[in-house]
């Protein structure tokens, strides 16, 4: 558990000191690593030592989640478009394994996911034209099954 928290901390707050990291850990753990251990971990799990993908793996989260939290720490008012533009390299790195020929099953799965997301974007645009009040539609089986039944109808007025 300390390692996961250290990796998250070092990714999100790469410029913070060992002391700040220990304080962060102390608020979340009963057993805070010794000073030397914390110092070693601070160095070992720094963003300059591990790739974003490796840090995501060690933290047990999608590496893009780590990147996003770190980015939003520095740019709290960023729009979705700005985030997507700024994350181009990170997205390429995080999903680079998909382009290896040994990963065809994962490639197919990711392609199906992208097609599904695109289909839901089109569905949401159609619903929006009909008066759907939300800016985003969450892709889900329930949404897909309910789409024909709950699509907003036009008012007779």
Instruction: Quickly tell me which residue has 């199906």 as its tokens.
Output: 112
pLDDT of residue 154: 47
> Would you say residue 82 has pLDDT above 90?
yes
Residue 84 banded pLDDT, cuts 50, 70, 90: very high
Tokens of 54: 């490796």
Share of the chain above pLDDT 70, in %: 78
* Average pLDDT value for the chain: 81
Q: How far apart are CA 122 and CA 96, in angstroms?
A: 27
Would you mind telling me the total number of residues written for the chain in this entry?
A: 157
What is the average pLDDT across 128-140? 75
66 or 134, greater pLDDT: 66
- Crossing angle of the two packed helices 141-150 and 104-129, in degrees rounded to 10: 30
Q: pTM, whole model, 2 decimals?
A: 0.59
Task: From residue 133, give the alpha-carbon distance in Å to each of 40, 61, 127, 129, 151.
Answer: 51, 32, 9, 10, 12
Percent of the chain topping pLDDT 90: 24
**pLDDT exceeds 70 at position 74:** yes
The region of weakest confidence among 35-49, 74-88, 97-111 is 97-111
């Amino acid at each position: 558990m300390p390692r996961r928290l250290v990796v998250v901390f070092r990714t999100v707050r790469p410029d913070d000191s060992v002391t700040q990291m220990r304080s962060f850990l102390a608020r979340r753990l009963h057993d805070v690593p010794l000073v030397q251990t914390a110092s070693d971990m601070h160095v070992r799990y720094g963003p300059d030592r591990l790739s974003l993908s490796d840090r995501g793996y060690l933290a047990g989260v999608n590496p893009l989640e780590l990147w996003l939290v770190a980015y939003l720490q520095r740019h709290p008012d960023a729009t979705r478009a700005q985030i997507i533009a700024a994350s181009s390299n990170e997205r390429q790195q995080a999903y680079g394994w998909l382009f290896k020929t040994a990963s065809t099953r994962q490639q197919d799965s990711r392609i199906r996911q992208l097609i599904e997301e695109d289909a839901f974007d089109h569905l949401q645009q159609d619903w929006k034209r009909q008066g759907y009040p939300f800016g985003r539609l969450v892709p889900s089986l329930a949404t897909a099954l309910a789409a024909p039944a709950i699509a907003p109808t036009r008012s007779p007025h």
